[in-house]
Amino acid sequence: MSTSDTTTAGRSLIHHPDFRRLWTGDALGQLGAQLTVLALPIFAVQQLAATEWEMGVLTAAEFAAFLLIGLPAGAWVDRMRKRRVLIVADLVRAAVLATVVVTAATGHASIPLLVVAALVISAATVFFDVSHQSYIPGLVGLDHLVEGNSKLQATASVAQVAAPALGGLLLRVIAAPALIAVTVVTYLVSAFAVSRIRQVETPPHRDTRRPLRVEIAEGLRFVVHEPYLRRIVACTSLGNFAGAISGAVLVIYVLRTLDLDTAAYGAILSASAVGGLLGAVVAGRLAQRIGEGRVIPLSALVMAPAAALTPLASLSDLPAPAVLIVGGAAFGFAVIVYNVAQVSFRQRVCPPPLLGRMNASVRFIVWGSMPIGGLLGGWLGTHLGVLPTLWVSVGVMALAAVPVVVSPLLRMRDLPGAPVAEEPAPAA
């Protein structure tokens, strides 16, 4: 009997041993990833004097693999044991970041080196993310998908709250490379935790494999032909494109334009992430109350107004950190509620043998837009300035909501494959 069979429909995943191991590994990996997200750009801006264009290239490199190898990665993952892929991806990321730490300590660090490191890490992350999302349904069962995704999203949000605040304080007394070294340890411990999962996977037999291009086409065809998934992917891709535009210049905006220090920047990220944590906690209940279909366009509508508070922070009479915190909290809440609903839907609606290729196809489209957005953000920041670049990002974010708002999703309570829920009775 598989591990997932030991968890009944009415029992929490807290009692699922293998999920606890995956959850532990995910928590440590998320903590390390958030510390890296904080430390690498600060290292590039403060110690390597990165320009707007160089930050755009670095942002593009962080997501380039999703565009370059995103599609075949799904077919490869469907042929592999997903637990093993997760472990190897953690070890690769630990090794690359250890190299960054060593070069920084010996005085050989440079922007090109960070770009190469980001490219390798992004390749490992492609395999990790595709395997991770494809692994959960078989590990916990379809009845626990929303709970499992909510718990993992909550973990990510906790890491987003704790890591920047801790990292911002540590950066007052240690250099950024020392903070990156902590990430190496978290990835190693994450790999160990995942290695203790006991569920036995049986990959498809070699005789059942077909040409790679045929298998890739099946995953992409499923995403393009499923009508609701097609709209969700369009929304997510445009939203990520907008986020990458602003992400290319955000650290420069905070540290140079607003003249805030690294501790303040860390505190802003942490406080902003509280919204994401709240979203992860209430996502399941919101989907039940509002409807899993409706919650997707409604949460998408919140994102652009929340994102607009970032450039408004430089124009408002209110303290800039306070404006950034409010905007970040609202944005984080909306994104996590949106993600829990749409990820659970696509995991449930997709046939299990196609999960890896479906997730890879989705990632190819929704994350593949980010390298392009990063390069555009760096170019706009160089030629138009940081503030106009942030406003361009807000405009694209508003357009991102259109595919799901102008669709049947806004009138739907239940999405295909979901248990049919009755409308809540009106209050007496």
Could you tell me the mean pLDDT of each successive run of 10 residues in the chain, 428 residues long?
46 77 82 80 85 92 84 75 88 94 90 93 84 72 71 72 72 76 89 84 62 76 85 93 94 91 76 77 82 88 95 91 90 88 77 74 86 95 95 96 89 64 38
Is residue 233 helix, strand or coil?
Answer: helix
Cα–chain-centroid distance for residue 104?
27
Count of CB atoms situated within 10 Å of the CB of 195: 14
CATH of 14-200+212-411, one of 3.40.50.300, 1.10.10.970, 3.30.2320.50, 1.20.1250.20: 1.20.1250.20
Q: Kindly state the percentage of the chain with pLDDT values over 90.
A: 30
**Domain limits, the chain:** 14-200+212-411
Count of CB atoms situated within 10 Å of the CB of 427: 4
pLDDT, tens only, 172-186: 667 778 888 888 998
Answer yes or no: are the C-beta atoms of 59 and 377 closer than 8 Å: yes
C-alpha distance across the termini of the chain, in Å: 48
pLDDT, tens only, 235-249: 999 999 999 999 999
What lies within 8 Å, CB to CB, of 283 at 6+ separation is 146, 150, 153, 336, 337, 340, 341
Is residue 315 helix, strand or coil?
Answer: coil
